[in-house]
A = this chain, B = another copy of it.
Amino acid sequence: MTRAQPVEIWFEFASSYSYLAVMRVEAAAREVGVSLHWRPFLLGPVFLSLGWNDSPFNIYPPKGRYMWRDMARLAAKYDIPFRLPSQFPRNGLLAARVAMLGQNQPWIADFARAAMRANFGEDRDIGQREVIAEILEALGLPAAELIDAAQTPDNKLALRGQTEQAATLGIFGAPTFLVGGEMFWGNDRLEDALAWASRGD
């Protein structure tokens, strides 16, 4: 019996540092016996509420230049594939809708990693239906069926609700880890979030 608390990972498919965290989180959580809940959301509306109509990495060029260099270094450190995306941020809406549909399904971790890797490791446009379809097929999932289900009004509304919940929870960036009422922002805090969860407070 573990007294560990579950960890929620709130992530966005267009977010560079979400990529690093999504690639690492499942293995890291398993290693310390912490259960994991996936929470896709849209950063766009959250950024808009802070007055940004684009990624802050585009709005503030020195920050953006640094971020890409930092990403390259960290990807090398973690041994995660990285290729500078030819478009940033990409449209992560369809991927987020599919992830919303599957957030409690056994395939969520594999899908999240594959879609993230397509964007930041392979420079593919995950905003395209064909790209998402190919990713789902490669996982042995019924692509057309899932993509249609992801685009029903109910599922769209569910993702919008989850995004509003993110803002309500005080989330202002991605990835964000929630452990009970405790918030940890950024790939850099993955280990601290898991350590907090392991304490079982």
Which residues does A use to contact B, with CB under 8 Å? Answer: 50, 60, 62-63, 65-66, 69-70, 73, 77, 170-173, 183-186, 188-189, 192
Q: Is the CB of A69 within 8 A of B183?
A: yes
Q: Please, which residues of chain B bring their CB within 8 A of the CB of A170? A: 62, 65-66
Task: List B contacts of A73 (CB < 8 A).
Answer: 192
Q: Do A185 and B70 touch across chains, with their CB atoms under 8 A apart?
A: yes
- The answer to whether A62 touches B188, judged by C-beta atoms less than 8 angstroms apart, is no
Q: What residue in chain B is nearest A46 (Cβ atoms)?
A: B62
Among candidates B66, B171, B185, residue contacting A185 with C-beta atoms closer than 8 Å: B66
A176 nearest in chain B by CB position: B66
- B62 contacts A172, C-beta separation under 8 Å: yes
Contacts A69-B183, A183-B66, A183-B69 given; does A60 touch B172 at CB 8 Å: yes
A62-B172, A65-B170, A66-B185 are known; give 10 further A-B pairs, CB within 8 A: A50-B63, A63-B172, A66-B170, A66-B172, A66-B183, A70-B185, A73-B192, A77-B192, A186-B188, A188-B188
Select one of B50, B69, B188 contacting A60, CB under 8 A.
B50
- Complex Cα gap A170–B67 (Å): 12
Chain B neighbourhood of A188, CB < 8 A: 186, 188
List chain B residues, Cβ under 8 A from A186.
Answer: 188
Docked CA distance A63–B69 (Å): 23
